[in-house]
Structure 1
Amino acid sequence: MPAAKPLPPVGTEPFGLFTFRAPENGLWRKWRGLESDLAKERTVLEQCRENAAGCPPNAAQFLRLINAVKFKSGRDRLDEANRAVNQAIRYVSDFTQHGEADRWTAPLATFATGKGDCEDYAIAKYIALIEAGFAREDLRLVLGRDRAIRQDHAVLAALLDGHWLILDSRRSELIDDGELGNFTPMFAINGRGVQLFAAPYAKRLPLDDGLDATPAAADAADAEWTGAESADAASPLPGFLPLFM
């Protein structure tokens, strides 16, 4: 009998993939701009903790949410962050709210209007969990393509007890990353910056651990996440490997 074909290695990132540093592009600029906004908002939150009477209403609201998340533990902490942010924000597209295709908004700015789109939900959950004590290195803002509805989409992935759970603005419940069947992940973002997902099979990108992986974007410099609906979004972007077709 012929030897069984070995299974491909499984990565430790969400969806069982690997990641590598994305080239400088528009996402890096957006992320660095957001990091600057987050640093300013962190100062506001610190001032609110010292002087609750002088705290702006949006910051006070977000602090109450953080404290509710902090009061929980384990999966309940993730569940509280997901449900609370989903209930606090009403979905409005960036074009409708800001007149542009894709704007990333820090949580206090989002809570000031009570409106946002998918990445604003994910960013608010990311910061709420970090402020509540969840390990930053166990969180990923994941940008990808929802093939079922022909639209780019953003979620938050959180690592708990060795499993990645997805916090989604469209779902009140947490789901395992393996259950997001129509979602093609493109980019993962956290304190390391912008990372491209890579499939753990075939050719030919050596990674730090010695394994080979196929990059999710064969021409990474052209990889682009618009955050907006596209007529051909049901198909992978040019240069993207359909990881879950």
Structure 2
Amino acid sequence: MRRISLIVCSGLLACWSLQASQLSTYLAEPQLKAKMADVYGKAAVKRAEAYARLLRPRAGTTDQQKIVLVNNYFNNLTYSEDPKLWGMDDYWANPLEFIGARGGDCEDYSIAKYYTLMELGVEEKKLRLAYVKAVRYNAFHMVTLYFPTPKADPLVLDNINGRILPGSKRTDLIPVYSFDAKSIWVMKSRREGTLAGSADRLAQWTSMKSRFSSEHLRSPRRQL
């Protein structure tokens, strides 16, 4: 969570440089394992191997089972604010950095869940990232949304509340806007939004592409 300007949004969703079929193989590469151990410690290699196992196809697994699995997996990592962990006011870690550091903030949880669900075969059109206001904390927050159908009440994957509930049940969250790799929506309600433009013009996070490699793993300011 953070007190941030709503102008900050993400172009990173268009910048994921690896195809789903390549990610598990990439995680097994000795070069990546060596770099993970060097930057984050040997325990990070085991976390990366556990992540690779999570990505292995499971015949007959439903979307509902996948979102429970992924939500629980990432919610076991440790929450830490960017200035303390990365020494920056706002840093959106890619999933390998998040797993390597063994934690992060709300954006990191949400991004990792979003991409992992796509890797597991959940249709991209069913997934969005969303900025909301967390009423209890009076702070802006990010969550992952899963829409079973285009007009359905989305299910909310959240690191504050580990229960996966429909958006209509999350009255503690006020929707602001949501986005995916292509578009941005200003949220009129927990279920519907007004298309506000293309994500292609939001280029703040294009560095995500270059950082998703063994050569660009950011070292945390402190170990969790």
TM range (shorter): 0.5 to 0.7
Give the Å deviation of 1:100: 2.4
Aligned mates of 2:116, 2:97 — CA distance in 1:
14
- Deviation >4 Å, runs of 4+: 68-71
1:86 aligns with 2:75: yes
Aligned mates of 1:101, 1:199 — CA distance in 2:
30
Structure 1 spans left out of the alignment, 5+ residues:
1-23, 201-206, 209-214, 216-245
Aligned mates of 2:171, 2:61 — CA distance in 1:
29
- Show the 5 A alignment for 1:30-179: 31-33=10-12, 35-36=14-15, 38-39=16-17, 42=18, 46=22, 48-49=24-25, 52=28, 54=30, 56=33, 57=45, 59-67=48-56, 72-87=61-76, 89-160=77-148, 162-179=152-169
Given that residues 187 and 195 in structure 1 are in contact (C-alpha distance below 8 angstroms), is that contact kept between their aligned partners in structure 2?
Answer: yes
Structure 1 counterpart SS, 2:163 = coil
Find the partner of 1:187 among 166, 177, 181: 177
Given that residues 13 and 180 in structure 2 are in contact (C-alpha distance below 8 angstroms), is that contact kept between their aligned partners in structure 1?
Answer: no
Aligned mates of 2:59, 2:106 — CA distance in 1:
23
The normalised TM-score by structure 2 is 0.66
Q: In the superposition, relative to structure 1, how do residues 178 and 191 fare at CA in structure 2: closer, same or farther (>3 Å)?
A: same
CA RMSD of aligned residues (A): 3.0
Give the Å deviation of 1:35: 4.1
The normalised TM-score by structure 1 is 0.61
Aligned residues between the structures: 173
Structure with greater contact order relative to length (CA < 8 Å, sep ≥ 6): 2
**What's the % identity of the aligned pairs?**
21
Residue by residue over 1:106-138, the C-alpha shift from the partner in whole angstroms, topping out at 9 and shown as x without a partner, is 111111111110111011110110000001011
Structure 2 counterpart SS, 1:121 = helix
Aligned mates of 2:143, 2:118 — CA distance in 1:
16
1:26 aligns with 2:18: no
Aligned mates of 1:155, 1:59 — CA distance in 2:
23
| Partner AA of 1:167 in structure 2 | L
Given that residues 27 and 52 in structure 2 are in contact (C-alpha distance below 8 angstroms), is that contact kept between their aligned partners in structure 1?
Answer: no
| Partner AA of 1:32 in structure 2 | G
Given that residues 167 and 174 in structure 1 are in contact (C-alpha distance below 8 angstroms), is that contact kept between their aligned partners in structure 2?
Answer: yes
Give the Å deviation of 1:184: 1.2
Aligned mates of 2:27, 2:175 — CA distance in 1:
41
Structure 2 counterpart SS, 1:109 = helix
Aligned mates of 1:51, 1:153 — CA distance in 2:
29
Residue by residue over 1:187-240, the C-alpha shift from the partner in whole angstroms, topping out at 9 and shown as x without a partner, is 20112233322359xxxxxx68xxxxxx9xxxxxxxxxxxxxxxxxxxxxxxxx
Given that residues 132 and 173 in structure 2 are in contact (C-alpha distance below 8 angstroms), is that contact kept between their aligned partners in structure 1?
Answer: yes
Q: In the superposition, relative to structure 1, how do residues 84 and 152 fare at CA in structure 2: closer, same or farther (>3 Å)?
A: same
Structure 1 counterpart SS, 2:83 = helix
